[in-house]
Amino acid sequence: QVELVESGGGLVQAGGSLRLSCATSGLTLSTYTMGWFRQAPGKEREFVAFIRSDGLTYYSNSVKGRFTISRDSAKNTQYLQMNRVKLEDTAVYFCASRSVWHGSTWQGDYDYWGQGTQVTVSS
């Protein structure tokens, strides 16, 4: 049984940094595509980043150059390093997994989801 558990969310000032973690079980991290999505109040869930099984990464334009997705296969954990955060980064962040090698920006392509972790950016 696959389980994804996010942590690391919280309150951060604009311009600051935060690192989210997604602990996984029931899957081999290096063979899955792992993604991060987010949902702001009153908005639809949107793609943030993914890392493919071969290590290729891809980001939405809104976070490119500020966020970094990575994984530690030995710890079965993936990460989202958030730097130079902005007010508009405030959202619930979700970790997701996809059991195929090629990545996707569409949430419907992901098989398993975590419960989400709240990130709030203050001015």
Per residue in 31-57, pLDDT (tens digit) is 899 999 999 999 999 999 999 999 999
Nearest to 93 by CA among 7, 12, 2: 7
**Residue with tokens 């979700």, as numbered in its chain:** 94
Q: Is 100's pLDDT higher than 90?
A: no
Could you tell me how far CA 12 lies from the centroid of its own chain?
Answer: 17
pLDDT value of position 102:
85
Q: How far apart are the first and last CA of the chain?
A: 41
Which of helix, strand or coil describes residue 87?
helix
52-59 contacts at long range (C-beta below 8 A, 24 or more positions apart): 52/101, 52/102, 52/103, 53/101, 54/101, 56/103, 58/103, 58/105
Q: What is the pLDDT of residues 78-88, one digit of tens each?
A: 999 999 999 99
* Beta bridge mates, 117: 93
pLDDT value of position 28:
87
Q: State both tokens at 15.
A: 């311009």
- Whether the CB-CB separation of 80 and 67 falls below 8 Å is answered with yes
